[in-house]
Amino acid sequence: MEVTDELVLHVARLSRLAISESETRELKSHFQKVLAFISAFQELDTASVDPSIFSVDASNVFRDDEPCPSLPRADALASAPASDGVYFVVPRIVGGDAGSAAPQSGVDKGEAAGRAELESGDDDELGGA
């Protein structure tokens, strides 16, 4: 298959990597080498083989529903690049100019310091089974 700049940039966007022009060139050439490296196994007929995705047979391992201590909030926030002591602080993601710079502390907790789980709408799609 042909590796194009568009493919590399598409994958970089999915990977959340803001790669430079020189990195795009380098990665394009790397993709080509990797495709050559793995070409050997394209010849293998695997139509009747079940894929082996996991390394253990266990599935849905549950623990007993017993309360136990979890990581204290202060410890969880200790290594964060920006926090207000309660939340991780990220750039504004709802209700405002999404292009504005990141607040460095929770000036307006309700809006500026969104929870980190929230993510702006994005239509990227990862493939999958």
Partner 1 sequence: MRGVVETRDAVRGKKLKAVESIRDAIRQIREVDGALHAASDVFEADALREAEDLDRRIARGEEPGPLAGVPFTVKDNICTRVGKTTAGSKILASYRAPYDATVVARLRAGGAICVAKTNMDEFGMGSSTENSAIIGPTKNPWKTTHVPGGSSGGAAALAAASRGMIHLGSDTGGSIRQPASYCGVTGLKPSYGRVSRYGLLAFASSLDQIGMLQADARECAAALEVLAGKDAKDSTSGAVPVPRYLEELERGVRGLRVGVAKEYFPEGIEPEVAERVRQGIDTLRSLGVEVREVSLPHTRYANPTYVLISGAEASSNLARYDGVHYGYRTDASRGLIDLYAKSRVEGFGPEVKRRIMVGTFVLSAGYYDAFYNKACKVRKLIRNDFEKAFREVDAIVCPTSPVVAFPIGEKIDDPLKLYAVDVLTVPANLATVPGISLPCGFTREKLPIGLQIYGRPFEDATILRLAHGFQGATKHHLDAPPVRARSS
Q: Which two tokens stand for residue 11?
A: 């994958």
Tokens 């990581």 sit at which residue?
71
Instruction: Note whether 9 binds partner 1 by CB under 8 A.
Output: no
Site string for partner 1, 55-74 (x = CB under 8 A): xx-x--x-x-------x---
Contact between 126 and partner 1 per CB under 8 A: yes
Type of residue at 38: I
Kindly determine how many residues on this chain lie close enough to bind partner 1 according to the rule CB under 8 A.
66
Radius of gyration of the chain from its Cα atoms, rounded to whole angstroms? 22
Q: For residue 18, is it left (φ>0), alpha (ψ between -120 and 50) or beta? A: beta
CA nearest 79: which of 88, 92, 67, 70? 88
Residue among 54 and 110 whose Cβ is closer to partner 1: 54
Tell the smallest beta-carbon distance from residue 52 to partner 1 (Å). 4
Alpha-carbon torsion angle 86, 88, 89, 92, nearest 10:
-110
Question: By CB under 8 A, is residue 4 in contact with partner 1?
Answer: no
Alpha-carbon span 36 to 1, nearest angstrom: 10
Residue 45, token pair as written in the block? 């007929």
Under rule CB under 8 A, residue 2 binds partner 1:
no
Can you tell me which of 25, 98, 105, 107 binds partner 1, judged by CB under 8 A?
Answer: 98
Residues that bind partner 1 (CB under 8 A): 7-8, 10-20, 23, 26-27, 30-31, 33-34, 37-38, 40-42, 44, 46, 49-56, 58, 61, 63, 71, 75-76, 78-82, 88, 90-93, 98-102, 114, 116, 119-120, 122, 125-129
